Copies of this chain bind each other. A is one copy, B any other.
Amino acid sequence: MRPSGRKLDELRAVSIETGFTKHAEGSALIKMGDTHVLCTATIEDRVPPFIKGSGLGWVTAEYGMLPRATNTRMRREAAMGKQGGRTVEIQRLIGRALRAGVDRSALGERQITIDCDVLQADGGTRCASITGGWVALKLAVNKLMKAGDVVSDPLVDPVAAISCGIYAGQPVLDLDYPEDSEAGVDGNFIMTGTGKLIEIQMSAEGSTYSRDQMNQLMDLAEKGVAELVEKQKAATA
């Protein structure tokens, strides 16, 4: 029934290649099917003004798409002179999601910036960014721990994200672009490796959904996140 032939609760093929670029303190190229996102982590010895002197660290994120990551070319945001509303919304989500999984006191007063740049898009780029971004973050933190700059691991529980939606009347896991553009109801679930919820964003466009459907989607999300967390653990072992 799904255009890709996948089962309703089946993820796309997932791969995470660490060390894809050499300068960043952590880097990973995550592929969820044809969605490819390059995630890098940058450590800096400064924090935003509002937490200076608090002893707490900060994790933030920026998101971008190469102009021809999509089927038709989108205008380059740098050339337009601003980040679009969708971009700003996504990068705020990624930062908030990753921070929820960080013990900021254990991290200490430093900032880690996660850059998520979509090289190729086929739906689900924000979820891939969170899942891959956590891997880049983990690699950077591992460096800090190896160097003795951080003593107790601030990343005890992985953070991963997956989209779910109602496609052709059925709840499905991990929508690709053909599904995403048809689904009247879809959203993203961000969870930890131990199954706790961090963020739910479930919206309808020209449609509504029931509480029953919401529960079915949440079941799918739990299954999908669990599988992604296994991939994250393997990549950062």
CB within 8 Å of B: which residues of A? 20-24, 27, 34, 36, 38, 40, 42, 44, 62, 64, 66-71, 73, 76-83, 85-89, 91-92, 96, 99-100, 104, 113, 115, 117, 119-121, 187, 192, 196-211, 214, 218
Which of A23, A67, A100 has the most B CB atoms < 10 Å from its CB? A23
User: Which residue of chain B is the closest to A29 with respect to CB atoms?
Assistant: B119
A86 contact set on B, CB distance < 8 A: 92
Q: List 12 A-B contacts (CB under 8 A).
A: A23-B69, A42-B67, A42-B68, A79-B83, A85-B91, A88-B88, A89-B92, A96-B203, A100-B207, A196-B208, A197-B214, A200-B214
A208 contact set on B, CB distance < 8 A: 100, 192, 196-198
Partner of A197, one of B40, B67, B209: B209
Given contacts A62-B67, A99-B206, contact A38 B119 (CB under 8 A): yes
Which of A81, A187, A203 has the most B CB atoms < 10 Å from its CB? A203
